[in-house]
Structure 1
């Protein structure tokens, strides 16, 4: 009997369907071995040797797998095609290799096995297969190219696990002691992510807004001041050749931020210009050109998470859960990737589909390829794409476990991948300059789609979309000629204020982490979930906002562990993990180089650092038990109201965050609440007497 082992029942079911009874397929139900939760599980005195244990909830499944493995002639490890999947395969082999009377072959035999790609020739009782899509063709191809476990990939994953365990299990007790909260945690990457959010919040707080004004003008091409249906909407851009727009560039913690304003500072200044717009206007320039826009590359893990956040409002965690299911059901390629490559097979299928569905004019002469920007992308991997271009979102079936969210995400993946192989969209772009005899220059811009190209597939959104790389709104400008007199029918001054750097969203944080080479695609979602679960960050209107606790922990770690909190150092360490995977470095030495200085800093901090008090906010009420002021505190599950003399007085009550809106049903205060799944919504403070609730503020009517 040939036994194939995968991680999940869904994946096992999909493989079984394609293998037609030739193999027995079993699932591990996730990780079968890990470091212990109760203690460090790593021995720094003996080359950081990890001590792995079988989790209690997996003991029964491991016994079952051992019994099944004992009857197998050969065991094929078909876990996911990344470092974590390789590590799971290794753990399974370590558990099962002594589970029966079969003898594990020698290292010499294993080395011989590495040299062959034929499953039947592998001497070891275990072989490893990888595939990036769960289709019959991909699985059969993988079976004919079986190999042994790649120990370099296992070492890289083991190094990451040991590093994260050393940082987390060594720093967290220090935080418990110095901040008097026994549920805090620190992480090699998560703490840097929180630092980015804290730094941005302080940059926003420091930002001094400046008032400025713009002036819009509407011109009548018939040279009258009476409005017509063919108005030319324009913006005042200069006077006597001097532009009004000014650029402001700020140096931020994570890079540069650029915003703009005009040199019109007040309403009086704008009013003075308005009074000066009495002179006649003529068209001074008409620039018509054809503009091409190319489709975006197919999705990587990062861009999928960003786009799903912006357009579908899915969290990174939710996006990965949906993508995991789509992959296991066989509908998309592996979803943890930083490559934008597409297989030649898919390129050909996509071109055939586009030509058949939309016409030959929609495909370019040669297939379009994209250059992967990531320094460490594995080019053998593919971007995220549908496994069958002919299966659209409406055709998804699966095991009956796919819901609307799966369909919506699949539709985005399908459109993005297929559209990447369509021709560019072509726009007729027009820019018109209109100048007064006393030197005021207005500019009007418009564009009309001449050829839809990839937009035929992706659709025409009504607003700017990151997926399309620009605004695709059509703005039609009436035909005018240079020298033609036009009439200013209306001018409108508008007040603005310069914008501070925006708060991070999940999407923009992922983008920054990727740009700074911090973490890897598979780590972004758990990082973002963890920093919210720890109450270091809360989500307000889809923006990530640091709590006072998050600020206190960040300041403490920056003061006493500046290297760990340094962005370039974190990126360098990620590079060294990649070096381990490539065989350029040994994992023990990488850990040792990190741990020596870290352990010294740890000892010094335990001895010298003073306790940190997280700032609290008084609510203007006295404690009903002792009369002292009540304050807002942060606990493991969020904010709550407590006595300022805690622990002497233990009075507490639920904290309800008001948003300065009244319940439309009963007039009570509207407060921020969390659903069981952690999603923010707005409800009445008089619940359960009043059960009014809304997901968005704009729905409170």
Structure 2
């Protein structure tokens, strides 16, 4: 008698990114199925009042979550089927609040009990770290989930209710963190615009003969006067050293007089001061300091830096299979794991014993840092950048080299510097020269961040000096510099605006919205950005202030530590501040109309349709992204926005089935999702995809159809010949579930945003 055997059960590991799967399969081997969630599988719905997707009733917030579009539905179906065959289910999204929320959504959608939803976290994808995490699973941390839900609801609430204020002057959106960041850029731009330069003179003298030549700068007419050196923390965004100058002289007549005195009077050495100082090594990288250093040294913007770091974290094939090269790259901690510290000291003992400090180097954590993970570091100090250079592309190599050198430097001995100060005198005038030499390089062998070396001659006190030249340079005071992307990230971190995971997206959003633009490496506020900032400053002044936004971040930290109720805090803030402020703004629309950018919006007049709330005529707002070329909105009721439906032939609000945007931006230009028919495409322009050859089948199956093959489709875009893989069924390509089936060549492989690398 045949008895069917039960299929062998496997362990299921669910991760965020498909890019991690190859590395994890190599670590875990047989008996494991590893599937990706591809980020969030759920999002807040777009239903209910103002399409917020949640209700605030009494002291409770009820959130309505829906699958994240067709991709989310497809992934949930796949994961549900996998859970039926799994003996144990491990949820391994990234180790942060957002990852904890993803794990919570996975458990919720897959209907896993708390005992079956095993949460594991690791900050490096190595054999030891992954196996240690799997050996000690835990339950989902509900406090972290609530903190992330609070952030999501807060950002939706602020973004969707305040964005209509930005619309009225031609803006696209407003937001809790992006508007505070924009205000910093606009404040700097306004300071530059009102700055009045002032002339001043730097006066100097050159001494000789050649073997004792050095330059000294005017330091006043009071004996013993000394200008202290400015002591600054290690600044990863700094790109140039300070140019030496004299005490500022504010008139040419005075500068000429000082030169005359220098030429007429004898010069002698008044004082020589020599001292040896120690310069401590910088701490290892956090998210912010990595973005700053990559910008200053590698010319990478924060967004690109994080993309490369993500790849290094997920794993790169360095000869014996994929290996995670760095630890998790979203962190504000400067702490290093004890095993790495021991490995770094062992490396120095073998390769650079003079640079090994007698005691382990420790760094002081910054105030308000969460310290949830360790700092960004290489997973193995023995993976020297030069040894694996052939396995990395140029950007990956340069960023990994930066991380490796910084981590090792943080554990080295301090540098020893010999500093010299020579004070000279000519009549009643005093002059000063400063020099510096390196007595012991220490950590600077790996992370050179010293000021320029300047060797001064060996002179003695009361020694007469020979004047060769005396002169002055006319200069002007300079306005405060515009923020670079790195400097803005540094400022956001210092002021407590946002968290490591939000720095790069915030800067990218400001550029995408057209609020700031890059002029060289500097961020310049555009006229639109200045107008949006002005409107928000007049209507919601607290919301764009750094201390107010930082206080909100502190409240979110307290929620994550289970010290505060997220619902009570959010409802109280909404009722006590946001609602009254918006009511005041909406009752005075003339305040906003007065600030409209001239020529920014074409006046299309009023439509015949009336607002369903206040019955006032709706205004036509131009938009190239919608069918009719404009949509309708009410200037009195900012939440009322209507789009034309080709299917129903009526003006209507956006469909609740439409996917929500990734950021908290109101759907003001999204076409309604009720459109069924696909309009005929217009004739292709030179910039559109123009096919150049008939498609042919590849050997790869479609990830949705399974049986049908992907076809290689060649086209010409922007004068260049390009190729992509797509489903070979023309009818299937028009269906919603196929919208993500598009693979493009990336570093020698076919890659899809939704399905990852094609194996």
Tell me if the contact between 2:420 and 2:436 (Cα under 8 Å) persists in the aligned partners: yes
Which residue of 1 is the match for residue 376 of structure 2?
384
Q: Distance in 1 between matches of 2:542 and 2:572?
A: 13
C-alpha distance 308-37 of structure 1, shift in aligned 2 (>3 A): farther
**Matching of residue 560 in structure 1 with residue 539 in structure 2:** yes
Decide which of 75, 87, 98 is 1:73's aligned counterpart: 87
**Matching of residue 508 in structure 1 with residue 494 in structure 2:** no
SS at match of 2:424: strand
Decide which of 424, 429, 442 is 1:453's aligned counterpart: 442
Which residue of 2 is the match for residue 87 of structure 1?
101
Q: Distance in 1 between matches of 2:225 and 2:360?
A: 43
Decide which of 36, 49, 65 is 1:52's aligned counterpart: 65
Q: Number of residues paired by the alignment? A: 570
RMSD of aligned Cα (Å):
2.8
Which residue of 1 is the match for residue 253 of structure 2?
268
Q: Distance in 1 between matches of 2:547 and 2:298?
A: 32
Structure 1 residue 599: Cα displacement? 1.9
**Matching of residue 233 in structure 1 with residue 215 in structure 2:** yes
Which residue of 2 is the match for residue 626 of structure 1?
none
Structure 1 residue 403: Cα displacement? 2.0
**Matching of residue 141 in structure 1 with residue 160 in structure 2:** no
Structure 1 residue 61: Cα displacement? 2.5
Tell me if the contact between 1:376 and 1:578 (Cα under 8 Å) persists in the aligned partners: no
Which residue of 2 is the match for residue 370 of structure 1?
363
Map Cα deviations across residues 178-203 of structure 1 (whole Å, 9 max, x no partner): 32x3x610101111111111111112
Decide which of 317, 333, 343 is 2:327's aligned counterpart: 333
Tell me if the contact between 2:90 and 2:118 (Cα under 8 Å) persists in the aligned partners: yes
Which residue of 2 is the match for residue 603 of structure 1?
583
Q: How does 1:665-680 map to 2 (within 5 A)?
A: none
Structure 1 residue 417: Cα displacement? 0.7
Q: How does 1:241-252 map to 2 (within 5 A)?
A: 241=223
C-alpha distance 564-594 of structure 1, shift in aligned 2 (>3 A): same
Tell me if the contact between 1:548 and 1:614 (Cα under 8 Å) persists in the aligned partners: no
Structure 1 residue 457: Cα displacement? 2.1
Q: Distance in 2 between matches of 1:37 and 1:409?
A: 40
Q: Distance in 2 between matches of 1:51 and 1:3?
A: 28
Which residue of 2 is the match for residue 43 of structure 1?
55
Q: Distance in 2 between matches of 1:427 and 1:242?
A: 24
Q: Distance in 2 between matches of 1:603 and 1:190?
A: 22
Which residue of 2 is the match for residue 494 of structure 1?
473
What's the TM-score once normalised by structure 2's chain length? 0.71
Which residue of 1 is the match for residue 564 of structure 2?
585
C-alpha distance 136-245 of structure 1, shift in aligned 2 (>3 A): closer
Which residue of 2 is the match for residue 351 of structure 1?
345
Which residue of 1 is the match for residue 617 of structure 2?
none
Structure 1 residue 562: Cα displacement? 2.0
Which residue of 2 is the match for residue 254 of structure 1?
none
Tell me if the contact between 1:209 and 1:500 (Cα under 8 Å) persists in the aligned partners: yes
Structure 1 residue 263: Cα displacement? 4.6
Q: Distance in 1 between matches of 2:530 and 2:57?
A: 34
Which residue of 2 is the match for residue 415 of structure 1?
405
Structure 1 residue 584: Cα displacement? 0.8
C-alpha distance 174-283 of structure 1, shift in aligned 2 (>3 A): closer
Map Cα deviations across residues 345-387 of structure 1 (whole Å, 9 max, x no partner): 11111011112111x2211111101121132422x52111111
Structure 1 residue 279: Cα displacement? 1.3
Tell me if the contact between 1:5 and 1:25 (Cα under 8 Å) persists in the aligned partners: yes
SS at match of 1:276: helix
Tell me if the contact between 2:535 and 2:595 (Cα under 8 Å) persists in the aligned partners: no
Which residue of 1 is the match for residue 606 of structure 2?
none
Structure 1 residue 501: Cα displacement? 1.8
Q: Distance in 2 between matches of 1:454 and 1:430?
A: 22
Q: How does 1:5-404 map to 2 (within 5 A)?
A: 5-36=14-45, 39-45=51-57, 47-54=60-67, 55-97=69-111, 104-105=112-113, 110=114, 124-176=115-167, 178-179=168-169, 181=170, 184-220=172-208, 222=209, 228-241=210-223, 262-277=247-262, 278-329=264-315, 330-358=324-352, 360-378=353-371, 381-396=373-388, 402-404=392-394
C-alpha distance 636-331 of structure 1, shift in aligned 2 (>3 A): farther
C-alpha distance 306-263 of structure 1, shift in aligned 2 (>3 A): closer
Q: Distance in 2 between matches of 1:488 and 1:22?
A: 83
Map Cα deviations across residues 616-656 of structure 1 (whole Å, 9 max, x no partner): 489xxxxxxxxxxxxxxxx999xxxxxxxxxxxxxxxxxxx
Q: Distance in 2 between matches of 1:166 and 1:133?
A: 35
Q: Distance in 2 between matches of 1:18 and 1:202?
A: 55
Q: Distance in 1 between matches of 2:301 and 2:289?
A: 13
Q: Distance in 2 between matches of 1:550 and 1:369?
A: 42
SS at match of 2:219: strand
C-alpha distance 244-390 of structure 1, shift in aligned 2 (>3 A): closer
Q: Distance in 2 between matches of 1:232 and 1:3?
A: 71
Map Cα deviations across residues 289-338 of structure 1 (whole Å, 9 max, x no partner): 11211110001111111111122121111111111111111111111111
Structure 1 residue 7: Cα displacement? 0.8
Q: Distance in 1 between matches of 2:178 and 2:562?
A: 27
Q: How does 1:631-646 map to 2 (within 5 A)?
A: none
Q: Distance in 2 between matches of 1:279 and 1:604?
A: 71
Tell me if the contact between 2:165 and 2:535 (Cα under 8 Å) persists in the aligned partners: no
Q: How does 1:569-584 map to 2 (within 5 A)?
A: 569-584=548-563
Map Cα deviations across residues 465-524 of structure 1 (whole Å, 9 max, x no partner): xxx3x41x2211111111211111122311111222221122222222112111111111
Which residue of 2 is the match for residue 670 of structure 1?
none
Which residue of 2 is the match for residue 431 of structure 1?
421
Q: Distance in 2 between matches of 1:549 and 1:94?
A: 42
Q: Distance in 2 between matches of 1:601 and 1:480?
A: 68
C-alpha distance 91-396 of structure 1, shift in aligned 2 (>3 A): farther
Tell me if the contact between 2:218 and 2:247 (Cα under 8 Å) persists in the aligned partners: no
C-alpha distance 486-616 of structure 1, shift in aligned 2 (>3 A): farther
C-alpha distance 29-184 of structure 1, shift in aligned 2 (>3 A): same
C-alpha distance 152-450 of structure 1, shift in aligned 2 (>3 A): same
SS at match of 1:500: coil
Which residue of 2 is the match for residue 524 of structure 1?
503
The gaps in structure 2 that reach 5 residues or longer are: 1-9, 231-241, 316-323, 601-621, 625-686, 689-717, 720-759
Tell me if the contact between 1:428 and 1:447 (Cα under 8 Å) persists in the aligned partners: yes
Tell me if the contact between 1:549 and 1:614 (Cα under 8 Å) persists in the aligned partners: no
C-alpha distance 444-261 of structure 1, shift in aligned 2 (>3 A): closer
Q: Distance in 1 between matches of 2:228 and 2:440?
A: 35
Q: Distance in 1 between matches of 2:340 and 2:228?
A: 47
Q: Distance in 2 between matches of 1:242 and 1:352?
A: 49
Structure 1 residue 393: Cα displacement? 1.8
